[in-house]
Amino acid sequence: MARWRWPLAARLYWSRSLNVPLLSPECPGCDRDDVFEVRLGEPGDARPAFAEDHERLRRALVNETGSDKLYWRLFHGRLVVLNRIPFMDEMKEVIVDGGHAGKLYFDPYSLRWRFRFSRWSARFAVEEGLVETVRLAPGERPGPSMSLGGRRLEEEQQVVVLDSRGEPVAIAYYRRGAARLQTRLGGEREPMEGARRSTLEDAVKANEYALYVLESRAKTFLSVMAGKLSGKPVIVSFSGGKDSLVSLDLAVRAGLDPKMLFNDTGLELPETVETVERTARRYGVELHVASAGDTFWRVVDHYGPPGKDYRWCCKVVKLAPIARLTKRLWGGGALNVVGVRAYESLDRARSPRVWRNRWLPWFLSVTPIHEWSQLAVWLYVLRYRLPYNPLYEMGYERIGCFMCPASYLAEFALVREKHPDLWARWWGVLERWRRRLGLPPEWSSHGLWRWHGPAAQKERLARRVGVRLPGWRELLGRWARARPTASRLEEGLFEVELAEPLSPRALEEQASILAAKPRREGGAVVLERRGLWRLTFDGRRLRLESLGGMRGERLWEEGMDALKLAYRWSFCSRCRACETVCPMGAIRVTDRPAVDQDLCVACRVCVDTCPIAEVYVEHVVAPLVFGEPLAWKRPGKRRIQEVVEREKALLGEEAPGEAPRPPEEGLPPGIFQP
């Protein structure tokens, strides 16, 4: 990935004499010229390898060469660092003894772990006779396709390309009868020869000063932010993962007397729930749980599987339960400490350290570890013997919903192996929807469900596994309830016809949200805003006509809001998000949202936070209305910041002693040892 795309990029340094990774080029125990930088693929969010990573590395080398000889020769008993880099699935640069040893990756086509050689590891593979080779003539350069002299290999088998002296210069893969060039070798720092054996305990000691600086800055930042909200409680959002654990520990050490907030989505692995409870006991802090219960499983048959671009699940099982609980407990404002790091994603890299969420406007959220790398987090965990989640020992890298669509196929394979009962339940949902949509088995098995709309990566993966998916219009036509069959978008008109009827009463009961008064004309509901527009809805046809005061995109957005109100009233999932976020307390949800039209001020915050309106309609219905698969990105749509500012204006501008130190314990055995 190009460097300019990442606003922040972490750097990794290495000590020659100590043979350990460093967070900073300043190493108190090192000589002047002892430290060098290890160039990493961005964003450089490297971490130590765990015991399960070593097993994956061994298994990948067996898959690649038929033997684990290279693992025992090159990696066993060594301190290994892994750095995730862009790929179709999970791929990590493998750093050992301060140099690049290759790439460990999960093949999304064969669904197994593999290893791509670097120049250094390729030499050993050739020496051991564990890899096929192509030798070039003197002066010859690797070409896009190279002959194997009649040899026939397995498809996608790795081939090392050698120059005339026998030195590895490129990696190729056998495809369609020839060695196809994958990458040219060279330019990467190779591991040091004869380097001393080192441990993570050595790395912790070498990084003590760098950790002290990071910790001091983080605690100062938290203290300053808590001072700005003097008298307000401090709440740490705790997921059960390492980042929120470090954030909690920093808040405790800063003397902020925090409370813990855990969101039990109903999709957590059991080890996470146990970790949350154990951590609260160890720190002696008050734990509050926002539980979604079985909401996900109750509504997934209506929404369909969530996707990277169709994240209704976050609204229903995360934001809505958290909003309900936090508004009741801390609606007057609180400082919310969140373990968010810039290197987790581009969106988070571009996000500020201080922000407000449109779902939780009473919280001022801050992250004290925004610029910490994974290596810094783990070294801090080890330094203070923090009680991390045992899922890390099992190979999990991301703690959260076990079937999150943002996950890699590698992570799904791990869930299937370690938690087969949970995976079987999710597999049943996928298969029901696959059959309903008339899709091939690979839609489930190769994670094609993770993309809702058109996506280059989805199409590429589908082609490589040999399946053809329907076009977006056909797919959404099968997906949608009350499917739009026709639409007219003109300068002064917004009109949509539906295949199945929705109740006209939906707009009658929610007319105040559109700042209009309803009346009945036959079986249709009529709404009118004086001088702006007139709306007629009979259940199958929604027609919004301009009266001169509103036209074009503004009129269409009014029509979309009316359509959203009709859908959300008919298909309410009872998440109560609208009830929770309404700044006027004008909504109550039983089976459907009921609006007190005397209290409602037409702010439409409820529309912008309703999962049915903001996710289902925008991602399933709107593309069919506008004839554009990415209609949810249209320029006329309200932006998140507008929603936040509207809430703040209605709610007002008020933003929303030392806790016991955890006892020291010995370093838990097993996780960092190969």
If you average pLDDT over residues 245-268, what whole number do you get? 98
Does residue 186 carry a pLDDT above 80?
Answer: yes
Task: Please check whether residue 307 is in contact with residue 452, taking contact to mean a CB–CB distance below 8 angstroms.
Answer: yes
pLDDT reported for residue 647 = 64
* DSSP helix, strand, coil percent of the chain (3-state; round to 5): 40, 20, 40
Burial class (CB in 10 A: 0-12, 13-18, 19+), 522: exposed
Same domain membership, residue 640 and residue 548 = yes
Torsional sign, CA 615, 620, 625, 631: positive
- Tell me which residue has tokens 């190979």: 395
Alpha carbons within 13 angstroms on the beta-carbon side of residue 657 total 4
For 82-137, the pLDDT digits (tens) are: 999 999 999 999 999 999 999 999 999 999 999 999 999 999 999 999 999 999 99
Residues facing 22 on adjacent strands? 13
Q: Which domain-ending residue is among 157, 187, 217?
A: 187
pLDDT reported for residue 27 = 86
CA distance linking residue 381 with residue 375, whole number of Å = 10
Same domain membership, residue 368 and residue 277 = yes
Same domain membership, residue 259 and residue 179 = no
**Is 399 a member of any domain?**
no
DSSP code, position 310: B
Residues facing 490 on adjacent strands? 493
pLDDT reported for residue 264 = 98
**Is 370 a member of any domain?**
yes
If you average pLDDT over residues 401-416, what whole number do you get? 97
If you average pLDDT over residues 241-247, what whole number do you get? 98
Alpha carbons within 13 angstroms on the beta-carbon side of residue 533 total 26
Beta sheet of 47-48, edge-to-edge order: 47-48, 80-84, 91-96, 99-107, 112-117
For 607-625, the pLDDT digits (tens) are: 999 999 999 999 999 999 9
pLDDT reported for residue 670 = 37
Q: How far is CA 198 from the centre of its chain?
A: 33
Same domain membership, residue 366 and residue 243 = yes
Residues 6 or more apart in contact with residue 425 via CB below 8 angstroms? 297
pLDDT reported for residue 652 = 63
Q: Which domain-ending residue is among 468, 486, 501?
A: 468
**Is 255 a member of any domain?**
yes
Same domain membership, residue 79 and residue 151 = no
Element spanning 395, H or E = none
The alpha-helical segments, DSSP class H, found in 138-207 are 200-206
Instruction: Name the E strands within 312-455.
Output: 334-338, 354-357, 360-366
If you average pLDDT over residues 22-37, what whole number do you get? 89
**Is 198 a member of any domain?**
no
**Is 68 a member of any domain?**
yes
If you average pLDDT over residues 283-309, what whole number do you get? 96
pLDDT reported for residue 662 = 35
Same domain membership, residue 425 and residue 365 = no
Pick from 134-143, 418-427, 574-583: least confident? 574-583
For 414-454, the pLDDT digits (tens) are: 999 999 999 999 999 999 999 999 999 999 999 999 999 99
The mean of the pLDDT values for the chain is 92
How much of the chain, in percent, has pLDDT values that exceed 90?
Answer: 87
Same domain membership, residue 520 and residue 461 = no
What are the angstrom distances between the C-alpha of 363 and each of 57, 125, 141, 232, 294?
Answer: 43, 55, 60, 10, 26
Same domain membership, residue 182 and residue 84 = no
Instruction: Give me the amino acid identity at 94.
Output: V
Same domain membership, residue 571 and residue 534 = yes
Instruction: Give me the amino acid identity at 419.
Output: H
**Is 271 a member of any domain?**
yes
Q: Determine the structural domain holding residue 142 and report its residue range.
A: 136-187
pTM for this model (two decimals): 0.90
- Is residue 641 very low, low, confident or very high in pLDDT (cuts 50, 70, 90)? low
Does residue 477 carry a pLDDT above 90?
Answer: yes
CA distance linking residue 440 with residue 419, whole number of Å = 25
Same domain membership, residue 625 and residue 498 = yes
Burial class (CB in 10 A: 0-12, 13-18, 19+), 581: buried
527: phi then psi, degrees, rounded to nearest 5: -120, 145
Does residue 656 carry a pLDDT above 50?
Answer: no
Pick from 87-96, 108-117, 229-238, 341-350: least confident? 341-350
Structurally, how many domains does the chain consist of? Answer: 5
Same domain membership, residue 487 and residue 454 = no
pLDDT reported for residue 357 = 85
Degrees, nearest 5: CA angle 444-292-336: 110
Does residue 499 carry a pLDDT above 80?
Answer: yes
pLDDT reported for residue 651 = 62
pLDDT reported for residue 495 = 98
Instruction: Output the domain CATH number for residue 315.
Output: 3.40.50.620
Q: Which domain-ending residue is among 468, 502, 519?
A: 468
- Is residue 260 very low, low, confident or very high in pLDDT (cuts 50, 70, 90)? very high
Alpha-carbon radius of gyration of the chain:
28
Element spanning 523, H or E = none
Same domain membership, residue 54 and residue 13 = yes
**Is 627 a member of any domain?**
yes
